[in-house]
Chain A
Amino acid sequence: MTSTAEAIERIFRAEYGRVVASLVGRFGDIDVAEDAASEALLVALDRWPVEGTPANPGGWLTTTASRKAIDTIRRERHRDAKHQAAQMISDDTPHEPTGIVEDDRLRLIFTCCHPALAPEARVALTLRLVGGLTIVEIAAAFLVPETTMAQRVTRAKAKIKGAHIPYRVPGLADLNERLAAVLAVLYLVFNEGYLATGGGEPIRGELTEEAIRLARVLHGLLPAEPEVTGLLALMLLIDARRAARLVCGELVPLPEQDRDGWDRERIAEGHVLVRDCLARNRPGRFQILAAINAVHTDASAWSETDWSQIATLYGQLAAIDTSPVVALNRAVAVAELDGPAVALAVVDRLGLSSYHPWHATRADLLRRLGRTAQARDAYTAAISITDNPAERAYLTRRREQLPR
């Protein structure tokens, strides 16, 4: 492919969500919108190399796609009036004032992340419609066959149409609950990139980048929602460490990372967002996680970390999220403050035996306590339930470094 065509496809992907969202808003049908957007890309590939890229490529693509959609609808109407009439996603209710900015992309995100859709379908639809990823790319990202992913997306779109899942931003009464579902989808995409569950690439930068891009879109649309800000900050502060996290195919955990390899620009941006959250004083799960990562990225070394601050933040998190995983993470800070014996007592009570970080944390604490045989068993248990190759490599090395 020529570099011009690549540049056009890059613009197309960046503008895809906006184009599709605007067409769904106008024509009420996702398939019509997607087909018209693809046709607009073909026109762009044909004309931009000759005429030059328009000043407002997004607007150009939307206008061209709208014309294509109108052509299609006219043809369909001619052929089958009844079929055409059945295509509309109804949104005939007057919009209630929600007090927040209405944007077609925002409506589209809420439709894609509707709780009536299966969680894996929400992720796929969001990446497809809002993120502009192809089915092939999404299938590859989640290690499922292309036909499976295509079917998943087709089914979800059929349900949106058939069950009349509305194309709108929920009212204030439901906004928090529905926004939580959207944030969960973005975080899922990010986590899959940050530590892939499968046995392929250990870190998938394209997924973390995509999640950050979508979180930026959401933050741009809802700048006053602190959990959105918190999620974006969290992603930036974690992703800033990506380059230092993998050395020679082996995962490098935070205590051992070369902090010179961190992306200072992302960290600075994340810190600004965390301060914005603190100023709003409406704490939530993602904001607290972001604050924890702000403390980590503030320290020049693991030993310089403000552990009492970290433990306090995990305590706040535990108050709203009773998951034992939170308690496990807090125990890591406790180990630094009160020693590994105190932390181990906490960890052992959690009994997360199917969660590999639980075994890995126990292994590390047992190692520090000189309980070598037990540490070896814990490393073995962690390795046996981890598929990520870089993490396996790290755990295997730690196990081999135990004194004989």
Chain B
Amino acid sequence: MTQYLLSVHHDGTAHDEAPSAEEMSSVFGAVDRFNATLQAEGVWVFAGGLMPIEQATTVDNTGDTPVITDGPFAESKEYLGGFWVIEAADLDAALAWAKEGSKACAERVEVRPFQGV
């Protein structure tokens, strides 16, 4: 079994208008159902949604003194919005879950294997 990161990247430029309350609640409902399925199927390891990128803080302690800055470490059009960590037999199984996850959250999902432990 391999653990895979299923990450959701929000395009900051695509949603200038905030989605309506109905849209939001329908997505939340679908994601909740998907999460419940992951747990029931024993695939679930961890998942979570992130607060907006405006709330990010970057810490750089690679130099002599730590530097703390407001904002993301790199300016980008797309930011990580949330993720699932799942356990699957192989990439095909992970991709099948990602298809469902993408439908549920109405966003594209990137699938990436964790390094073996």
Contacts and interface: CB of A to CB of B under 8 A. Distances in A.
Contacts of A163: 2, 91, 111-113
A90 B116 CA distance: 12
Given A116-B95, A164-B2, A93 B89 contact: yes
A162 interface: yes
B113 A164 contact: yes
A162 B111 CA distance: 12
Interface string B86-117: 00011110010000000000000001110110
Interface string A136-180: 000000000000000000000000001111100010001000000
Nearest to B2: A164
A114 B95 CA distance: 12
B24 to A, nearest CB: 31
A206 interface: no
B68 to A, nearest CB: 34
B115 to A, nearest CB: 8
Contacts of A164: 2, 89-91, 113
B90 A91 contact: yes
A251 to B, nearest CB: 42
Contact of A86 (B1, B90, B112, B116): B116
Contact of A92 (B89, B113, B115, B116): B89
Nearest to A115: B95
A402 B89 CA distance: 65
A86 B95 CA distance: 22
Interface string A105-119: 000000000101000
A166 B91 contact: yes
Contacts of B113: 162-164
Nearest to A90: B90
Interface centre among B89, B91, B111 (most CB of A within 10 A): B91
Given A90-B90, A91-B90, A164-B90, 16 more contacts: A90-B1, A90-B2, A92-B89, A114-B91, A116-B91, A116-B95, A163-B2, A163-B91, A163-B111, A163-B112, A163-B113, A165-B90, A165-B92, A166-B92, A170-B92, A174-B92
Interface of B: 1-2, 89-92, 95, 111-113, 115-116
